[in-house]
Amino acid sequence: MITRDPEAFFAFARDCPPDATRATPRAAFLFAPDGFVRADESAHDNHYMADAAAFDAGAAQAQHRALHRRMAAVLPTVCFPGADDTPDAVFPNNVFATVPGRSIVGRMHHAVRRREAGRGDIRGFLRDLLGYREIDLSDQPHPCELTGALVVDRARGLGFCGLSARCDEDGARLMHAAFGLRATLLFDLADGEYHTNVVLAVLAGRAALVCRDGFADPAVADAIAGFYAHRVQLSPTQKSAFTGNAIALSADSVWMSAGAALALDDPGRRAIADAGFRIEAVPLDAIEAAGGSLRCCVAEIY
């Protein structure tokens, strides 16, 4: 099902038991911040982006390399080079995604990022090396920025899709089908928000980080938080620190930037620990100048 009705959605979702074997990825890939500068086109609807003077390519490279090393100790992680004609291509999760046996290529809202979808090396890696059947959404007209717009509870096969210029209802329906989801809840993001994964994280199907301020209707945020036994209600300040831009990369680890972790309060830390996770915090302030954080950097391989 795909619906805007939270009551109907959660009535259905309660009958979708979690499957821990598919809750976290088996591998991941990254894009190196080569040619890292401010992309003014992307900044039109991403108020999290810094001014051009705040972009430090050397620091971004060093922090990204450290992220790669840290992740590779937990799961196989490949890093592909960036390119000068895609200056903010450090967030591959918006463009490429996988489910078992299939790869998905999204449709980006801005032309500067649509170039990323044409990368033959990524498509070849997923199709020819991993043997995934490709579902290409990049040539149709509806924006659908994959796991930026769509937060997925992989354990249950549920989707939470925030609508904005980065994803419309038709794009959401295309993603619902491509990911093979059991149910997807549609809702509007608050004015000024561009991606759901800044205001919501679902961690291995066991916990949720939710910022009510990021939803046009805070009651939807409350319904999502109430579905999970462990939940953290994020403040606007924590949202701005990218605390909601987190990801579970293993059954016992939640990853976020060092700034995001620093913004967490004691109740939030306890909730995450009670859900069975340790926090892995990685300095990424130079990357965050581009308007995203750790979760955005990670394209998951299932």
Q: What is the pLDDT of residues 30-53, one digit of tens each?
A: 999 987 766 555 545 666 765 767
Pairing of strands 150-153, 207-210: unpaired
**Contact indicator for 105, 134 with CB cutoff of 8 Å:** yes
Q: Considering the chain, what is the average pLDDT of its residues?
A: 94
Q: What is the pLDDT of residues 96-126, one digit of tens each?
A: 999 999 999 999 998 888 889 999 999 999 9
pLDDT of residue 265: 97
pLDDT of residue 41: 57
pLDDT tier, 292 (very low <50, low <70, confident <90, very high otherwise): very high
Give the angle 114-120-125 at the CA atoms, nearest 5°.
120
Q: Give phi and psi for 89, each to the nearest 5.
A: -85, 65
CA 159, 147, 71, 240 dihedral sign is negative
Rounded-to-integer distance, Cα 199 and Cα 186, Å:
14
pTM, rounded to two decimals: 0.95
CATH of the domain spanning 2-301: 3.75.10.10
The label of the residue with tokens 């500067």 reads: 112
Give the angle 288-108-123 at the CA atoms, nearest 5°.
95
**Contact indicator for 94, 297 with CB cutoff of 8 Å:** no
Q: What is the pLDDT of residues 121-178, one digit of tens each?
A: 999 999 999 999 999 999 999 999 999 999 999 999 999 999 999 999 999 999 999 9
Give the angle 273-278-281 at the CA atoms, nearest 5°.
125
The Cα diameter of the chain in Å comes to: 51
Query: Does residue 60 have a pLDDT over 60?
Result: yes
Q: Delimit the domains of the chain by residue range.
A: 2-301
Identify the DSSP state of 87. Answer: T
pLDDT of residue 43: 47
Of the listed ranges 39-43, 80-84, 266-270, 271-275, the least confidently predicted one is 39-43
